[in-house]
């Protein structure tokens, strides 16, 4: 249980920070929220990136099996990272409306 709480906080903070920095540098508020599912596919799946192009059917089948096999704790942890990217987008929007010009 302690590991779940620490993991949720860690994923939230890490992805909030990454999204915040990307938002500042690239000035694309929701970029990280759109890229998050792709990043999570790489975290979840053990298949190489090129397998999705060379062996498409088997790669997506294996990905589907891995996603269905996620436990509730895994889903909570991954959702906390996604919530971190969403919160980062709202924070950046609020800061820009308040007059802060980052880069």
Report d(CA 33, CA 84) in Å as an integer: 9
Per-residue pLDDT averaged across 59-81, rounded?
A: 92
Beta carbons of 81 and 10 less than 8 angstroms apart: no
The confidence band for 3, taking pLDDT boundaries of 50, 70 and 90, is very high
Which pLDDT tens digit goes with each residue over 81-92? 999 999 999 998
User: What's the chain's average pLDDT?
Assistant: 90
pLDDT at 49 over 90: no
Q: What is the DSSP letter of 69?
A: T
Give first-to-last CA distance, the chain, whole Å: 40
Q: What is the DSSP letter of 27?
A: -
């Amino acid at each position: 249980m302690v590991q779940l709480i620490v993991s949720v906080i860690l994923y939230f903070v890490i992805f909030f920070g990454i999204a915040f920095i990307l938002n500042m540098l690239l000035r694309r508020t929701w970029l990280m929220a759109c890229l998050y599912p792709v990043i999570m596919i790489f975290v979840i799946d053990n298949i190489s990136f090129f397998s999705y192009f060379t062996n498409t059917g088997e790669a997506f089948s294996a990905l589907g099996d891995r996603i269905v096999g996620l436990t509730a704790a895994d889903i909570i942890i991954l959702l906390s990272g996604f919530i971190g990217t969403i919160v980062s987008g709202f924070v950046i929007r609020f800061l820009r409306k308040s007059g802060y010009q980052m880069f």
